Amino acid sequence: MSTGAIIAIVVIAVVAFIILGFSIKIVRQSTALVIERLGKYKRTLDTGIHFIIPFFDRPAGKEISLKEQVKDFKPQPVITKDNVTMQIDTVVYYQITDPKLYTYGVENPISAIENLTATTLRNLVGELELDGTLTSRDTINTKMRLVLDEATDAWGIKINRVELKNILPPKDIQQAMEKQMRAERERREAILIAEGEKRSNILVAEGEKEAEVLRAEAKRLATIKEAEGTAEAIRMIIEAHPDQAYLTLKGYEALAAVADGQSTKLIVPTELANITSLLATLKESVTLPDPKNKPKTAEKSAPAKTAENFGKK
């Protein structure tokens, strides 16, 4: 074989290898590739190995990622309903669902989404006041997602989530809000302290009330027990039928108890023996009368004299 033939074979092999290289397309996982034939859309290649016609078929661009993507847009100036200008930056979570529409639907899709997000945000915030904007993030997020998702359907893009990342009011508004928050916290603190003192006073009063009730109940029970004890003692004495000597002894004890006081004048019966008659009279008065017999009349006590006359006698 001549040298020219060998060179021709080598050239043909190299060209065939190059053509084979252009004919094979390998698409990675979670990506897609749009193929055009002579400038016209032909097909979309999904994950795997594919063969195309060299020089006739070519990719319309880079591989398109089908994974969910996140785009953080720069802050946008927004005016609220009460004419407060603040800066709001948004974060959009999106996913390409149709590579063909994404390729041919709109030029520079990310820029289109950013501009659409800014205009939608201005429309929504313009209907709210400052306080409503700060407390209605979930509502704004939901409405923005619905609007963006509907608008990007023609571009082969699905908007999964929209989040307001930061809401930055002017500095003077921030200072006023901080003062308002501080005043509200101080008011809550004062209310909590007052409620605590009120509850403490109520508990103290209830405790004193319960203590007074318990003391009164204890005093009542003690009085009842003491009265019952006295009544039982008197009953036992009466049932024992005390004799004259016992009554005389009790008379001496009573006289000693009276004399033990601080009084300067002491009045006693004329005859000391009459003390016995007094105690006997007391016995008859506390003894229950017999219904068959008439009650006995207590004897009259002897006239009393002063201690001075008693001494003279």
DSSP 242-292: --HHHHHHHHHHHHHHHHTSS-S--EEESSTTHHHHHHHHHHHHHSPPPTT
pLDDT of residue 292: 46
What's the count of helices (H) and strands (E) in the chain, helices before strands?
Answer: 9, 12
Q: Is the pLDDT of residue 12 over 60?
A: yes
* One-letter identity of residue 76: Q
Whose tokens are 């880079």? That residue is 62
Q: Is the pLDDT of residue 304 over 50?
A: no
pLDDT of residue 1: 62
pLDDT of 19-75, one tens digit each? 777 788 888 898 999 999 888 888 898 888 888 888 888 888 888 999 999 999 888
Residue 131, helix vs strand vs coil:
helix
With cut-offs at 50, 70 and 90, classify the pLDDT of residue 302: very low
pLDDT of 158-206, one tens digit each? 999 999 888 888 787 777 777 888 888 888 889 999 999 999 999 999 9
Q: Is the pLDDT of residue 115 over 50?
A: yes
Main-chain phi, psi angles of 94, to 5 degrees: -135, 165
Residue 26 CA to residue 83 CA, distance in Å, equals 56
Estimate the share of the chain in helix, then strand, then coil, as percent rounded to the nearest 5: 55, 20, 25
Kindly report the pTM of this predicted structure: 0.54
Give the contacts of 203 (CB within 8 A, at least 6 positions apart).
none
Residue-averaged pLDDT of the chain: 79
Residue 267, helix vs strand vs coil:
strand
With cut-offs at 50, 70 and 90, classify the pLDDT of residue 274: low
With cut-offs at 50, 70 and 90, classify the pLDDT of residue 257: low
pLDDT of residue 86: 87
Residue 238 CA to residue 232 CA, distance in Å, equals 10
**Length of the chain, please?**
313
Q: Is the pLDDT of residue 92 over 90?
A: yes
